[in-house]
Every structure is written in structure tokens, then in C-alpha cells.
Amino acid sequence: MLLELKKGVDILSDIGAVKSIDEARKLFEEKCDDENLAKINKIKNEKALLKIANAASMFQPEDIWLNTGSEADLQTTRDKVIENGEEFKLKVDGHTCHYDLPEDQARLVKQTYYIVNEEEDVSVLAKKLVRSEAYDYIKNTMVGMMKGRTMTVSFWNRGPVGAKAAIPAVMITDSYYVVHAGNILYPNVFEHFDEEVERAGTYFFNVHSYGTFKSEDISKARIYMDRSWQTSYSMYCTYAGNTLLLKKPNHRFHVDHSTYYRVEKEISEHMFITGLTGPGGRKTYFAGAAPSGCGKTTTAMVGTDFIGDDLAQMWIEDDGTLRAVNPEIGIFGILKDVNRKGDPELMKILRADKPAECIYTNVLIEKDGTPRWVGDGDPEPTEGKNYLGQWKADMKDKEGNPIPCSNPNSRCNVYCTDISNYNKEAATDPAGVPIKVITYSGRDSDTMPPVWVAKNPDEGVVIGASIQSAATATEVGAKGVRRQPWANQPFIPGPLADYMNAQFKFINSDKLTQKPIMAGLNYFLTYGARGGDPDDTKLLGEKKDVKAWLTWLELRAYNEIKAIDTPIGYIPLYEDLKKIFDETISKEYPKELYDKQFSFYLDNIIARIDLQKEAYSKEKDCPQRIFEVYDEQRRGLEALKEKYESIVLPEQLIEAGGVK
């Protein structure tokens, strides 16, 4: 099914009612001072100018300010955000803190909708609202919403200027915090906006107003995405995942763009990108998917050549390689459990070992201005101020549970250039980096091993399709263990079958002559699930083991290391891992731990396959290939069960499948 663009009425243009470029220019003259008028006159794209004018006509701001990304504009943003109280300064120069409302600490999933035309399909997992209803809500809420305030206009790019899979975007907001966060996360494209729109053939448009910033108004908050007009609307909230619309709302438009207009050419993924230096100094690039809050940032930072921690725009280059760019230039990373042991690089910034700009959100600030969060590795704080107000260590919630010092989704916003292992040259090169390894992971306490490699591209697609993960604090109200296809599910607007089809076509394309290996990763197996006390939720590994898993995959990508051939893919041999653990993280790796991590608990794996099959069988027009792969794997697992019963040790897996 095709997504039709420019279908139905463009709500913003209709409400704004500015019809001609002359009317638009007149409005700019009224609302801009000379400096800003000169800036806006540099933009030649009349359609974009009309949309900006329509936003101004709808919001009725006091004035308009253009963010060109110049040093002066970056400084204005930093000054204004302190002046208007959206952030306050901490004791370290360049460090600031922003609080969101207690009800607005993560993506507001229940208040996020796709705007659809009458007969359009969206993912069964998403909420939709028909155009006419969205129109009324936007009109009733957003008209005049910026009265007395400044409407800021930023021109950013989702990717390096000139990269094949990059798309520019305009962001309009009355929140200088959103501008500040955006300056850290996206390259400013003001100077190249017209060329970039021309090259990409499109651009995204986003409008936001924070309204009253009052808890009692949070029920009015909405995030609307108009897929037909690639325009998003956000109101009555500030949390960056809901308001910095280039991030997830535009990622969703980008997923649409790849799925419906770039089949076999591009894919848009919720993935980190990082490089690892292998034997002889070679650079091997990884792209890895994980649901929010499942270790994507940590994994990315382990690389010697960090590129990005959240999103990847990928395409097939003419030379047959798979290329990827990070649409972002900064990180918006979770702070919980970030400490010197597990995240040494990030901690250098957070603990001010070096100067850097950093926005902390929803953390505790101690009297002396030190930001604190749960799991930061320092002695626990006793009191301070956080997004709830004054906080003391003995405070309890209504159920009598202790109130943690920081929100589990509190974050830090920093420029990648401040991260020591960031490879700026590679990350900002429009040619992208060549990807040799793709990984998929989730929070899976009891089923899949720490690492396994697909035997062919189809099985790789199926690993992505089969991610299963426990809920995290990154979505308001999320609970339980859920399917998380490609870790991208919350951001796939259309039917899952369309996206799956695009994945199969992309990775199997004849043009992709240098195919990456595709692997599953799982850091979350527990002792309880591997023969210990069933309530024991202690993890079988620790964060730093990530480096060992990546190193094994690096060698496997060049076929320089053998692996056990199992029905679900290739898994490592003990001797290899022992050596890798020792050499990369100086850690002893006992055989007993290996056996716990890599024994197959067949009933769990078979039940997982059955659950996925059942779920996908309800999906209309789902590619048959996925069922064939599941059936083949299931037959192999059943054969193992017949031979060895339901728990199979690695030695038995070798005996049954051999080593390749």
C-alpha cells in the first residue's frame, strides 16, 4: 500500500490562511526586526516561507527570531533560556538543568497520534485521529498560543549536509529549551536549506508551543503527526521526546519516506552507529537497534569510533556497501545507572573532568549545584531539589515506596564533539560509514543468549522482527514485556507488514553486494532464569562485557573466528570468548558462566517463536518468508529437544550442529 503525500487539507496552511508569498513577506515585516528580516530573506524556498508565515499567522507571536546556527545565535539561545527560567545554571560552566512537569517525563504515548485521512491504515500499535478532528483540536488550541512570546524558527538537518539519506527540517517553537536542545542535537542548515530541500526532494515541518507549563493542563498535551504533509504539531508539553520534533516525530516521517518512497534504497532505523578497531588497525562499523532504555548509548560508547547513539539513516551506495549516517550530532542519553565503571567516557563530561556544554534534565541538584541521579556511583544524596520540588532521601510516595532522587528517564544532552571517542570526521562525512555488522537487542531476561549471528539476510530480518523487551521508563505508562519489532516499532507509522517487506527487499538487494552480518545481542539474562532462585534478577554479565561481544562480532564479520552452528544461528565458542574477555576487558570468563549464558533453554525459545508467529499471522499481508524462517528454526529446535531434552549445553550444540 502506498502512502499518498499532500492528501487532504494541510491544516497549518488552512488555519494560517496566508496564501501568497507577498502576504507572507508582509507578515515577516511586521514581526521581524531588521536583522531577522535580513535572515529570512536569505531563504528562497517559497513553500517553506509560506509555511513559516502560516505558523506565525496561527500562533500570533509578539515577534519572530531566526536561529541560523551562528555563534551569536547559539549564545542568544543560551542566554534566553536562562532569562526565561526554562533552564538554570549549575556550578560548572556550561552545565545547566531543565525540569519538565512531573507528568511529562517521557514520551506521552497515549497523547501521540497520527493524523489520517478517512480510509488510511496506520500500524495496529499506534493511535490515529481523522484529519477533521485533528484540525479542530489544533485550531482550538494553537491559534494565538504564542501571544506575547517570541516564535523561534530553526533550520536543521537530519544528517550531514549532502548525505544521500539526510532530510532538512524546520522547527518552530516558543521554547528556548527546545532550541537549545536542538542546537546540540542537529546540524544547523540555514546556509544550505534551499539546496538541501532540492537535493532531498522534501523537508519536514514542525510546530510546538509549550502553553502554560502547568500540571493541570497536561491533559491538553498532544503530539500530532500529519504523515501526508510531513508536518508535526506539539502543544502543552516540554519533554524533548515530545517537543523536539526532529527527533522521534521526524524519525517517523523518515521511516515513512524509506518504506514507501525509497524501497531497496534506504532504511531509517532506531540504531546506534559505532566503529571498533580490529586487527591491523582496521575500522569496522556497527549499527545496532535496541528499544529505548536498553543500553544503546552504552554500546555505542564502547566503540573506538563513536558515531551516534539513537538513530541511523542507511542506504546502499553505488559501490555495493551499506552506508549509514547519524541524523544527529549530539546525544540525549539516559542518566540512570551511568557511572564511572560502566560509562567512563560520558562521565568525563558529566563530572566535569573537561569543559563541555551539558543540559541535565529531571535530575536532583544538591545545594552546591551538583547534579545527581540514581546509580551515579557516588554516595547517595540526602537532599536537594528536583523536578518535583524539594527532595529528601526519606520521602515516600502514596504506596509507601521511596521516591528516587531523579526520574528514571532523566537525561543529559551533550554535543558528540565533547565525547572523546567521537570520530567527527567520519560522523560528519556525507559519504557515511560502511556498516559491516548490524545488531538487534532488547531487555530479555530469560530466552536468548548474549550473542548469536544470523546465517543469512532473511534470518537477520527475522532477528529484528522478533525483539521482545521489558518496558522502560521512556514511555509514560508503559508496563510489562512487549514485542518490539526492530526496536523501531513505536516509530513505524504504517502497517508493520509494509516495513517488514521493505527490510527484506533492502537487505536482500542485489545492489547490496557487501552484505553486513546480522546478529542478536542480549545483556539482560538473569541468574534466576538460568537455574538460580527464580526470583533472582541479578544479571549474568555486566555492562563492560559489551566490548567482548562486539569484539567477537568484529572477528566474525571477516570470518576470522569459528562459531557453533545452531538452528537459530551461530554462537561463540568458549575458548574464543575466554581469550577475548581477557584481552579486551581483562576479565576472567569462567566456563560455568559461559554454559549459563549459551545453553539453549529450548522451551523458552520455541515459545518465543510461537508467540511471534501468532502475532505476525494477524498482520495483514505479512511476507511469507518470515513464517518459513520461523518454521525452519522451530524444526531444528524440536530435533534438538528430541535428542537432548529441553536444556541443551554448548557441547551438545557442537555435537549436533558442528562448528563453522
Q: Enumerate binding residues for Mn ion (CB under 5 A).
A: 292, 310
Closest CB 309 distance from ligand SPV, rounded Å: 8
What span, in angstroms and rounded, lies between the C-alpha atoms of 300 and 79? 32
Q: 131 contacts which partner out of Mn ion, ligand SPV, none, CB within 5 to 8 A by kind? A: none
Number of residues that bind ligand SPV (CB under 6 A): 9
Cβ burial, residue 287 (10 Å; 0-12/13-18/19+): buried
Residue pair 142/209 in contact by the 8 Å Cβ criterion: yes
Cα torsion 598, 604, 610, 612 to 10°: value is -70
Picking from 67, 460, 40, the residue whose alpha carbon sits closest to that of residue 288 is 460
Nearer to ligand SPV, 66 or 181 (CB): 181
Nearer to ligand SPV, 406 or 566 (CB): 406
Site for ligand SPV in 466-485 (CB under 6 A): 474
Question: Active-site residue numbers?
Answer: 294
Site for ligand SPV in 84-143 (CB under 6 A): 107
The total of other beta-carbon atoms located within 10 Å of residue 613's CB is 15
Minimal CB distance residue for ligand SPV: 241
Minimal CB distance residue for Mn ion: 310
Q: Which stretch binds ligand SPV (CB under 6 A): 82-90, 123-131, 239-247, 561-569?
A: 239-247
Q: Report if residue 247 touches ligand SPV, rule: CB under 6 A.
A: yes
Closest CB 270 distance from Mn ion, rounded Å: 6
Q: Interface mask (CB under 6 A) for ligand SPV, residues 293-332, using x and -?
A: -----------------x---------------------x
Q: 313 contacts which partner out of ligand SPV, Mn ion, none, CB within 5 to 8 A by kind? A: none
The phi, psi pair for 510, rounded to 5°, reads -65, -25
Nearer to Mn ion, 86 or 269 (CB): 269
Closest CB 292 distance from Mn ion, rounded Å: 5
The tally of CA atoms less than 13 A away on the side-chain side of residue 504 is: 16
Q: Report if residue 240 touches ligand SPV, rule: CB under 6 A.
A: yes
> Rg of the chain over CA atoms, in angstroms?
25
What span, in angstroms and rounded, lies between the C-alpha atoms of 327 and 157? 7
Closest CB 310 distance from Mn ion, rounded Å: 4
Nearer to ligand SPV, 310 or 418 (CB): 310
Q: 596 contacts which partner out of Mn ion, ligand SPV, none, CB within 5 to 8 A by kind? A: none
Q: What region, left, alpha or beta, does residue 433 occupy, with left being phi > 0 and alpha being psi -120 to 50 degrees?
A: beta
Where is 616: in which H helix or E strand?
helix 602-617
Q: Which three cell numbers stand for residue 207?
A: 510546530
Q: 160 contacts which partner out of Mn ion, ligand SPV, none, CB within 5 to 8 A by kind? A: none
Nearer to ligand SPV, 410 or 597 (CB): 410
**DSSP helix/strand/coil, 270:** coil
**DSSP helix/strand/coil, 492:** coil
Among 187, 211, 241, 520, binds ligand SPV (CB under 6 A): 241
Q: 95 contacts which partner out of Mn ion, ligand SPV, none, CB within 5 to 8 A by kind? A: none
Closest CB 398 distance from ligand SPV, rounded Å: 26
Q: 254 contacts which partner out of ligand SPV, Mn ion, none, CB within 5 to 8 A by kind? A: none
List strand residue ranges (DSSP E) for 21-107, in order: 63-67, 88-89, 95-98
Nearer to Mn ion, 294 or 564 (CB): 294
List strand residue ranges (DSSP E) for 227-357, in order: 231-235, 266-269, 271-277, 283-289, 305-308, 312-316, 322-325, 330-334
Q: Report if residue 177 touches ligand SPV, rule: CB under 6 A.
A: no
Closest CB 291 distance from Mn ion, rounded Å: 8
Q: 13 contacts which partner out of ligand SPV, Mn ion, none, CB within 5 to 8 A by kind? A: none
The total of other beta-carbon atoms located within 10 Å of residue 575's CB is 11
Nearer to ligand SPV, 247 or 336 (CB): 247
Closest CB 472 distance from Mn ion, rounded Å: 10
Q: 455 contacts which partner out of ligand SPV, Mn ion, none, CB within 5 to 8 A by kind? A: none
What span, in angstroms and rounded, lies between the C-alpha atoms of 219 and 258? 33
Q: 152 contacts which partner out of ligand SPV, Mn ion, none, CB within 5 to 8 A by kind? A: none
Nearer to Mn ion, 258 or 292 (CB): 292
Closest CB 485 distance from Mn ion, rounded Å: 15
Closest CB 221 distance from ligand SPV, rounded Å: 14
Among 234, 292, 447, 488, binds ligand SPV (CB under 6 A): 292
Task: List, in order, residues 6 or more apart from 422 with CB less than 8 Å away.
Answer: 306, 307, 416
Output 445-448 pairs: Cβ under 8 A, ≥24 positions apart. 445/470, 445/524, 445/525, 445/526, 445/528, 445/529, 445/537, 446/525, 446/526, 446/528, 446/529, 446/601, 446/604, 447/522, 447/529, 447/601, 447/604, 447/605, 447/608, 448/520, 448/522, 448/525, 448/605, 448/608
Q: 418 contacts which partner out of Mn ion, ligand SPV, none, CB within 5 to 8 A by kind? A: none
Q: In what order do the strands lie in the sheet with 150-158?
A: 63-67, 150-158, 167-173, 204-209, 231-235, 222-226, 112-116, 128-130
Return the residue matching grid coordinates 537532599.
383
Q: Which three cell numbers stand for residue 327?
A: 541524523
Q: Which stretch binds ligand SPV (CB under 6 A): 2-10, 125-133, 179-187, 240-248?
A: 240-248
Would you list the DSSP string of 533-586? -TT---BSS-GGGHHHHHHHHHHHHTT-S--EEETTEEE--HHHHHHHHHHHH-
DSSP state of 2: P
Nearer to ligand SPV, 190 or 332 (CB): 332
Tell me the residue length of the chain. 660
What span, in angstroms and rounded, lies between the C-alpha atoms of 245 and 388? 25
Q: 180 contacts which partner out of ligand SPV, Mn ion, none, CB within 5 to 8 A by kind? A: none
Q: In what order do the strands lie in the sheet with 88-89?
A: 88-89, 95-98, 358-361, 411-415, 330-334
Beta strands 222-226 and 231-235: pairing type?
Answer: antiparallel
Nearer to ligand SPV, 107 or 164 (CB): 107
Q: Which stretch binds ligand SPV (CB under 6 A): 59-67, 192-200, 241-249, 603-611?
A: 241-249
Closest CB 100 distance from ligand SPV, rounded Å: 11
Nearer to ligand SPV, 361 or 445 (CB): 361
Among 31, 208, 248, 578, binds ligand SPV (CB under 6 A): 248
What span, in angstroms and rounded, lies between the C-alpha atoms of 34 and 39? 9
Closest CB 111 distance from ligand SPV, rounded Å: 13
Interface with ligand SPV by CB under 6 A: which residues? Answer: 107, 240-241, 247-248, 292, 310, 332, 474
